[in-house]
Amino acid sequence: MSPRLAVLAILGAMVIFGANFAVTRLGTQYGLTPGDLAAARFGVAGLLLLPVFVRHDAVTCAGLGWRRGILLAVTGGVVMTLCMNTGLKLAPAVHGAALGPGTVTTVGVLYGVFAARGMPPFLTVLGLVTILAGLATIAIAGSSAGGSNVLLGDLLFFTTGLLWGFYPILLHRWRIGPIVSAAVVAVLSLVYLPVWLAGSVSHLAAVPLWMIILQCFYQGVLNSIVGLWLWGHAVRTLGASRTQLFPPLIPVLGALFAIPVLGEVPGPAQWLGLVLIVGGIVASLFGMRLRRPAEH
């Protein structure tokens, strides 16, 4: 894949992940719980990708080995998703949109520094600082009343970003194909389904059928298969540290999708944060072009 196609791939993944905030929140407004959404995501994706998993040798976890497969599933699968969903119950969603991608980008830059055995270009550092400033602006602008559980929610968002940040690093270092990685994450995350079914699911009777179908398609097909597949392709071409400059676009796109889907229009401070994020990403990418770190 050419670098330009890789950039288009990662942008496509960010569109899917960004719209997910609006789609997920819409689902909760119709009565779906975080557990329901996780079950829709990995139940559908796991069943669809099970043939891929088996074809690549289920005994050896699709050829990866079970240790690597479990680590990959933890960083990109149901554990990460439940951390985010639980955090959304305890803290404002805008905190998750800021802390998660911000942590992912920070992990990516630190990995780039480690791989290159030196500091990144000044423009990249300036871009990272600008990105973090934009994320902080969005979080502060979106924070209203804080409760006793907000700190715990923020810690879960940080954990989500930490796990998610290591996912592309593992893909890059282990040279895992995008469809195989998506299959491993989805199939191993099927272990959550019995846990979900053991709880109460009677409330689903009150949820419109079209909403359940929408969530199954978006969470299970777009989020867990198409999004991870696009991201995996980008990692193979651009490297882990470069692809991790893009997740801060998620709150930007999430805010834009929330306008037509949820009728939520960002305030002036949030618009400022969005502009800072985009400007920071552009600066960081130009900095990366000045020196291409050797990632191994």
pLDDT in tens, 272-295: 887 888 788 778 767 766 555 444
Question: What is the spatial distance between Cα 279 and Cα 117, in angstroms, rounded to a whole number?
Answer: 26
Question: What is the spatial distance between Cα 21 and Cα 145, in angstroms, rounded to a whole number?
Answer: 21
Per-residue exposure over 124-156, b if at least 16 CB sit within 10 Å of its own CB, e if not: bbbbbebbbbbbebbbebbeeeeeeebeebbeb
pLDDT > 90: percent of the chain = 35
Long-range CB contact pairs, 143-147, < 8 A, 24+: 143/92, 143/94, 143/95, 144/92, 147/90
Q: Looking up tokens 């195989």, which residue turns up?
A: 180
Asked if the structure places residue 296 within a domain, the reply is no
Mean pLDDT of 83-97: 75
What integer pLDDT is reported at residue 259 of this predicted model?
84
Please, are residues 196 and 46 in contact by the beta-carbon 8 Å criterion?
A: no
Q: Domain range spanning residue 278?
A: 3-290
pLDDT > 70: percent of the chain = 91
Which of 131-135, 260-264, 288-292 is predicted least confidently?
Answer: 288-292
Q: Looking up tokens 């592309």, which residue turns up?
A: 168
Asked if the structure places residue 141 within a domain, the reply is yes
Asked if the structure places residue 124 within a domain, the reply is yes
N-to-C CA span, the chain: 19
C-beta atoms surrounding 7 within 10 Å: 18
What integer pLDDT is reported at residue 93 of this predicted model?
67
**Predicted confidence band at 63 (pLDDT cuts at 50, 70, 90)?**
very high
H and E: helices and strands count for the chain: 14, 0
Residue 168 has pLDDT above 90, yes or no: no
Please, are residues 22 and 94 in contact by the beta-carbon 8 Å criterion?
A: no
Give the count of domains, the chain: 1
pTM for this prediction: 0.81
Asked if the structure places residue 295 within a domain, the reply is no
DSSP state of 81: H
Task: Tell me the one-letter amino acid at 61.
Answer: C
Asked if the structure places residue 191 within a domain, the reply is yes
Mean pLDDT of 100-116: 77
Asked if the structure places residue 272 within a domain, the reply is yes
Please, are residues 170 and 57 in contact by the beta-carbon 8 Å criterion?
A: no
What integer pLDDT is reported at residue 144 of this predicted model?
55
**Predicted confidence band at 87 (pLDDT cuts at 50, 70, 90)?**
confident
Mean pLDDT over all residues of the chain?
A: 84
Asked if the structure places residue 122 within a domain, the reply is yes
Asked if the structure places residue 240 within a domain, the reply is yes
pLDDT in tens, 211-256: 999 999 999 999 999 998 998 888 888 887 778 778 878 877 877 8
What integer pLDDT is reported at residue 11 of this predicted model?
93
